[in-house]
């Protein structure tokens, strides 16, 4: 049976039973615990006071729980492997630019001290969260897959001059106005190879799909300008994530004359419309597809197909109808087909 520490609720019960005059064995029986556990709890966590010249011993559940938690924390500190002179040595080498793996290897080679690199990462975590130290800034983040720390200097540089999504106008957040777009890239087999730049209007869900030869800042910016060119007069804002292909936003903002808003890192729900659109596109372009090998008519076919498909969120109107304020008859007479469906049949 696994060892289980006494909880605060159990300590409340112990205090109540003690006030009723119950002995150690009776308390243990009612709690389903060993008598030795109850006896040790009363000895270690009892409160001793002087009252009227007499020594009074009592048991307070809250004080007992706090004392137990304090001892547990102290025990954890005492068992840490990196302490004293070893801690000074490890921290100095981190500040010298050594990686945790380098430090562990040299400790074993020179001092025959065996230490796991994960132990050093845990030491840096404690330094960051308990004392707000600077050790985390000494790590090289590029190869650290867990990404436990923020990329301090790089993140500060890339955040400069950006509009945060919290500053986005209410009309965009509430989807009450056309012209507020979300933007993303549907990647192919190779991340830096050809991709599909996708844009969607937040209110109407009207989509734009453009093929880009490379997922690079210049190519994505040029494709964005091309996609929005027919709608420049009504375009009011763009929202995208913090991908490298969307950096240098101020230059694009100047060209388009609109603000570009950035979501928080790892918060895809803040641009749910484009995530939904990309999911629809993945029906035709599964992950791992070589986008560069796809036919050049595919982006236009995807636009026609998705923009003329009724959407429940729009009251079963199509994005095309909502965006252009038109009413189309799609079911009378011969069923009309658009874009990708038509292309598949031909």
- Report, as an integer, the average pLDDT of 180-192: 85
Quick one: pLDDT band at residue 198, thresholds 50, 70, 90? Answer: very high
pLDDT at residue 181 in the model:
96
Enumerate the β-bridge partners of residue 209.
198
Give the CA distances from residue 326 to residues 76, 208, 232, in Å, rounded to whole numbers and listed in that order.
68, 18, 19
pLDDT in tens, 322-341: 999 988 876 654 444 445 55
Quick one: pLDDT band at residue 205, thresholds 50, 70, 90? Answer: very high
Q: Is the pLDDT of residue 3 over 70?
A: no
pLDDT at residue 234 in the model:
93
DSSP H or E stretch at residue 208: strand 207-212
Q: Is the pLDDT of residue 152 over 50?
A: no
Q: Is the pLDDT of residue 276 over 50?
A: yes
Q: Is the pLDDT of residue 177 over 90?
A: yes
pLDDT at residue 202 in the model:
96
Question: H helices then E strands: how many in the chain?
Answer: 15, 8
CA distance 248 to 262: 12
Name, in order, each residue with C-beta under 8 angstroms of 174's C-beta and a sequence gap of 6 or more.
none
Quick one: pLDDT band at residue 148, thresholds 50, 70, 90? Answer: low
Strand runs (DSSP E) across 116-206, as ranges? 163-164, 180-187, 195-201
CA distance 73 to 68: 9
pLDDT at residue 100 in the model:
85
pLDDT at residue 226 in the model:
93
pLDDT at residue 143 in the model:
37
pLDDT in tens, 278-325: 998 988 888 888 898 889 899 998 998 888 888 888 888 889 989 999
pLDDT at residue 48 in the model:
75
Please state, rounded to an integer, the average pLDDT across all residues of the chain: 81
- Name the CA radius of gyration of the chain, rounded: 32
Q: Is the pLDDT of residue 170 over 90?
A: yes
pLDDT at residue 209 in the model:
95
Does the pTM exceed 0.75?
no
pLDDT in tens, 215-265: 888 899 999 999 999 999 999 999 998 888 888 788 888 899 999 999 987
How many Cα atoms occupy the beta-carbon half-sphere of 204 within 13 Å?
A: 24
Quick one: pLDDT band at residue 145, thresholds 50, 70, 90? Answer: very low
CA distance 220 to 293: 19
Of 53 and 284, more confident: 284
Q: Is the pLDDT of residue 57 over 60?
A: yes
Q: Is the pLDDT of residue 55 over 80?
A: no
Q: Is the pLDDT of residue 50 over 70?
A: yes
pLDDT in tens, 6-30: 888 888 898 888 888 888 898 889 8
Q: Is the pLDDT of residue 151 over 70?
A: no
User: Are 113 and 86 contacting, i.e. CB atoms less than 8 angstroms apart?
Assistant: yes
pLDDT in tens, 91-136: 887 876 677 888 888 788 778 888 888 888 888 888 887 777 778 7
């Amino acid at each position: 049976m696994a060892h289980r520490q006494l909880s605060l609720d159990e300590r409340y019960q112990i205090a109540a039973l003690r006030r009723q005059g119950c002995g150690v064995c009776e308390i243990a029986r009612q709690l389903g615990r060993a008598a030795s556990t109850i006896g040790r709890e009363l000895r270690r966590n009892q409160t001793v006071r002087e009252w009227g010249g007499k020594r009074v011993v009592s048991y307070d559940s809250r004080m007992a729980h706090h004392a137990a938690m304090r001892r547990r924390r102290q025990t954890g500190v005492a068992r840490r492997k990196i302490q004293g002179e070893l801690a000074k040595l490890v921290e100095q080498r981190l500040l010298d630019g050594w990686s945790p793996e380098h430090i562990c290897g040299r400790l074993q080679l020179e001092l025959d001290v065996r230490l796991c690199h994960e132990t050093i990462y845990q030491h840096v975590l404690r330094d960051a969260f308990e004392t707000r130290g600077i050790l985390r800034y000494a790590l090289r983040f590029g190869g650290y897959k867990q990404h436990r720390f923020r990329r301090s200097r790089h993140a500060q540089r890339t955040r400069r001059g950006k509009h945060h999504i919290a500053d986005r106008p209410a009309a965009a957040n509430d989807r009450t106005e056309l012209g507020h777009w979300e933007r993303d890239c549907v990647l192919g087999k190779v991340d830096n190879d050809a991709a599909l730049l996708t844009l969607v209007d937040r209110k109407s869900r009207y989509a734009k799909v453009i093929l880009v030869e490379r997922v690079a800042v210049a190519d994505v910016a040029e494709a964005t300008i091309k996609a929005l060119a027919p709608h420049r007069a009504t375009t009011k804002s763009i929202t995208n994530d913090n991908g490298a292909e969307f950096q240098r936003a101020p230059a694009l903002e100047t060209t388009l004359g609109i603000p570009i808003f950035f979501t928080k890192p790892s918060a895809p729900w803040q641009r749910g419309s484009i995530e939904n659109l990309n999911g629809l596109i993945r029906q035709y372009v599964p992950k791992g597809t070589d986008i560069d090998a796809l036919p050049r008519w595919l982006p236009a076919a995807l636009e026609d197909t998705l923009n003329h498909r009724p959407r429940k969120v729009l009251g079963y109107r199509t994005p095309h109808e909502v965006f252009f304020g038109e009413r189309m008859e799609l079911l009378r007479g011969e069923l009309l087909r658009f874009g990708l469906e038509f292309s598949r049949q031909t």
